[in-house]
Amino acid sequence: MTFTRRAFRTAAAASILMMSAVGAAHAEKVIKLHHLNNDDPFDNATGAMATVFKSLVESGTNGSVKVQTFPNGQLGKDAEVLQQVKAGVIQSGIHSVGGFASVYPMIGVLDVPFAFPNISVTYEVFDGPFGDKLAADIEAKTGMHVLGFGDSGGFYDFTNSKRQIKSVADMKGLKIRTQGLDTHKTLVSSLGGQPVAIAWAEVYTALQTGVADGQMNPVPIIAFAKFNEVQKYLTLSEHLFSPYVWVMNKKAYDGLSDSEKAVVAYAARSAIVAGRGIGRIIEASSRGLPALSKAMEVYALTPEQKAQFRDAAQPAVKEIIVKTFGAEGEEMMNAFLAAIDEAGK
């Protein structure tokens, strides 16, 4: 009887250890997700993406994969967090093009200005064969798995404090804040402006003090940053579209079961659609263009005016892309432009 009780206790202990091991294995299937904004799904695109992704992954896997969100850049700057994703310190991140250029410089081929005819074409391009081609190249060069390309707020537009921009001549001499990307600097200088690279945290003060006359960003970001307080003119130029690049650590992705991978894939696609929808809603709501219109003079470039801007800016930016990225970059750029033409038909 004693032997039986001892055997039972031993078996029970082994069972508990096995259950603990299983629990530990399940605990390892956690996707820590970095993004740049707060977690409110009604406030911004990445908040919507992160919230929808978490819900669909956890419910779709019956809890075998958990998602922990780290909003507002809690884990560091975008470029720093990318290194954490690559190293497997965290499992995933939704990154700006500016940050992603630190690990994949050729993302700059997307900076051909005035390339898209409308916002819906951007979705077709990044969800279609070109998006697959770009994702494959990113995965080959960075070792990270691409979950998709999100909407960072729509098209870039110009704001400034000096005058309304209706022609290329109106850009002359304006000090326009840009990210530190050569393509963005070239875009501004090709139009006669003076590019000024300023860190995001310092942009409002730079506009307020005149260190920069203007800047370029999508409408939701212009409104969110309250640039209407320090800028008088908004020109709806729609000259660039910079997607969010959503990646996942390859080892973490490969560690998922086939069914879990399928859930993660459809959850990411659904989350990207949600982010796009929130971007368009904010743009059209009292938190976007209607509100900005009350404080700023808004002007939308006509198709003829856009053509003049495109003719002035595209050759210079294409040249810097080819010079920087060589034949490989030129081929990717041409594939990008061909995809736009096809989607626009």
Residue 263 CB partners (closer than 8 Å, separation 6+): 56, 57, 60, 61, 65
Residue range 54-71, pLDDT digits in tens: 999 999 999 999 999 999
Residue 154 CB partners (closer than 8 Å, separation 6+): 119, 218, 219, 220, 241, 279, 280, 283
Residue range 170-196, pLDDT digits in tens: 999 999 999 888 999 999 999 999 999
Confidence of residue 18 (pLDDT cuts 50, 70, 90): very low
User: What's the chain's average pLDDT?
Assistant: 91
Rounded Cα distance, 40 and 36, in Å: 12
Pick the CATH number of 156-241+286-343 from 3.40.190.170, 3.90.25.10, 3.30.1360.70, 3.40.640.10: 3.40.190.170
Beta bridge partners of 34: 70, 93
Distance of CA 337 to the CA centre of its chain: 20
Angle CA 201–247–39, to nearest 5: 50
Q: How many CA atoms lie within 13 A of 232 on its CB side?
A: 7
Rounded Cα distance, 31 and 52, in Å: 14
Residue range 312-344, pLDDT digits in tens: 999 999 999 999 999 999 999 999 999 999 999
Rg (CA), the chain: 23
pLDDT of 2 over the 70 cut: no
Phi, psi of 243 (to 5 degrees): -75, 155
Residue 332: exposed, middle, or buried by beta-carbon count in 10 A (0-12, 13-18, 19+)?
buried
In the prediction, which pLDDT does 278 show? 95
* Sheet of 156-160, strands arranged across: 194-197, 175-178, 214-217, 156-160, 233-240, 297-300
Rounded Cα distance, 101 and 114, in Å: 21
**Strand-pair category, 297-300 with 233-240:** parallel
In the prediction, which pLDDT does 28 show? 65
Between the alpha carbon of residue 100 and those of residues 70, 93, 103, 246, the distances in Å are: 18, 10, 6, 10
The reply to whether 156-241+286-343 shares the fold of 29-152+242-284 is yes
- Check if the beta carbon of residue 274 is closer than 8 Å to that of residue 53: no
Beta carbons within 10 angstroms of residue 306's beta carbon: 18
Model-level pTM?
0.88
pLDDT of 6 over the 60 cut: no
Domain boundaries, given as residue ranges, for the chain:
29-152+242-284, 156-241+286-343
Residue range 204-238, pLDDT digits in tens: 999 999 999 999 999 999 998 999 999 999 999 99
Query: What is the torsion angle, in degrees rounded to the nearest 10, for the CA atoms of residue 305, residue 307, residue 310 and residue 311?
Result: -110
Rounded Cα distance, 40 and 224, in Å: 14
pLDDT of 277 over the 90 cut: yes
Rounded Cα distance, 119 and 239, in Å: 11
Beta carbons within 10 angstroms of residue 59's beta carbon: 11
Instruction: Give the class (CATH, top level) of 29-152+242-284.
Output: alpha beta
